[in-house]
């Protein structure tokens, strides 16, 4: 035995049914848009509060930024131009270092700063992962690790993170010579760490030189690049190459104290004390209060004085 069930829906009923479904879908879309917009608006409110936080209160800035991210995870809430994590954290670090210097630092202060460091790094890395194509996020990560370098025991890891973040930024903007130079400088810092092996020092130094040379191929009239390259060659005891690059830096920027001071060191390493003294005196004329330059001049004058020579001879 079989039975047939027939459902008859007239045209008016069908249109009414479609209208109800359409209205329900429209309402759902409107609710979603409202909810989405509301969360975005509130997260922006927290982001603005973070940006307007007192420079002395890094914890408030970071807490507000975290609220913004929690409400709207796909928002780019660590934009470099706002400088939230970077400036607030730098302020906290400066305050902590000043307190330590004056003997007023407490374990509670250290714990608070450590928490701020961890918050800042977490937020910066999260922003970079959320928006990996935003160069500012990678620059922000690099800057935060740079700021915390004086405070961390594992400087090697911090510097490796700086290099990685800068490399990501450079991949997004391959012709930015400032980023390329900063990569080279980070490699130099890695090479100068006491725990770095001889082989790694050589490798890091070569990577630094490659970075500076790459920068010069992109922009050959940037004096700082010649200065970085010259200083690297000086540290590697390649005085002629150091002198060549430092003189090029001076030709492009003849009013830079650091360039003359570095050149003076190169001349002194070659035993050319006359040229070294001339370079140091030029540096001092540009920066008369610089104690390091004054000391360098004093040391040179003492080494050339008759009494120094006599003392040296009598000591044989």
Quote the CA–CA distance of 222 and 248 in Å, as a whole number: 10
pLDDT tier at 94 (50, 70, 90 boundaries)? low
Residue 287 is assigned to a structural domain of this protein: no
| In-domain check, residue 12 | no
What pTM was estimated for this model as a whole?
Answer: 0.72
Residue 5 has pLDDT above 60, yes or no: no
Q: Is the pLDDT of residue 4 over 80?
A: no
How confident is the model at residue 87, as a pLDDT? Answer: 56
- Report yes or no on 178 lying in a domain: no
Question: Residue 57: which pLDDT band, with cuts at 50, 70 and 90?
Answer: low
Length of the chain, please?
316
Where do we find the tokens 């209208």? Answer: 19
Provide the domain limits for residue 151: 37-166
Average pLDDT value for residue range 235-244: 96
Q: Give the rounded percent of residues in the chain with a pLDDT score beyond 90.
A: 46
Residue 47: CB partners within 8 Å, gap ≥ 6?
Answer: 64, 65, 68, 75, 77, 82
For the chain, what is the domain count? 1
* 305 — pLDDT class (breaks 50, 70, 90): low
In-domain check, residue 308:
no
pLDDT value at position 3? Answer: 54
DSSP label at 150? G
In-domain check, residue 115:
yes
Identify the CATH number of the domain in which residue 98 sits.
1.25.40
Task: Using the predicted structure, report yes or no on whether residue 264 has a pLDDT greater than 90.
Answer: yes
Instruction: Judge whether 281 lies within some domain.
Output: no
185: closest CA among 150, 146, 216? 146
CA angle, corner 84, sides to 81 and 90, nearest 5?
Answer: 110
> Please, which pLDDT band fits residue 210 given cuts at 50, 70 and 90?
very high
């Amino acid at each position: 035995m079989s039975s047939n069930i027939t459902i008859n829906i007239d045209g008016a009923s069908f249109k009414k049914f479609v209208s109800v479904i359409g209205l329900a879908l429209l309402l759902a879309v409107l609710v979603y848009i409202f909810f989405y917009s509301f969360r975005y608006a509130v997260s922006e409110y927290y982001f603005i509060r973070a940006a307007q936080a007192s420079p002395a209160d890094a914890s408030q800035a970071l807490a507000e930024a975290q609220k913004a991210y929690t409400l709207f995870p796909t928002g780019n809430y660590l934009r470099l131009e706002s400088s939230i994590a970077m400036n607030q954290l730098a302020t906290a670090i400066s305050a902590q270092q000043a307190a330590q210097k004056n003997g007023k630092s407490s374990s509670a202060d250290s714990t608070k700063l450590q928490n701020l460091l961890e918050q800042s790094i977490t937020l910066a890395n999260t922003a970079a992962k959320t928006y990996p194509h935003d160069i500012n996020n990678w620059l922000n990560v690099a800057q935060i690790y740079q700021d915390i370098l004086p405070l961390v025991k594992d400087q090697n890891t911090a510097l490796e993170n700086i290099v990685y973040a800068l490399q990501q930024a450079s991949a997004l903007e391959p012709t930015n010579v400032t980023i390329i130079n900063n990569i080279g400088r980070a490699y130099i810092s890695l090479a100068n760490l006491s725990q770095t092996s001889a082989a790694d020092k050589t490798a890091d130094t070569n990577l630094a030189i490659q970075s500076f040379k790459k920068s010069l191929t992109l922009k050959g009239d940037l004096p700082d690049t010649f200065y970085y390259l010259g200083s690297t060659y000086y540290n590697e005891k390649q005085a002629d190459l150091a002198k060549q690059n430092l003189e090029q830096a001076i030709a492009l920027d003849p009013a830079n104290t650091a360039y003359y001071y570095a050149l003076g060191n190169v001349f002194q390493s070659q035993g050319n004390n006359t040229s070294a003294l001339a370079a140091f005196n030029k540096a001092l004329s540009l920066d008369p209060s610089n104690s390091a330059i004054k000391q360098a001049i004093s040391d040179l004058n003492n080494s050339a004085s008759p009494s120094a020579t006599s003392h040296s001879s009598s000591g044989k």
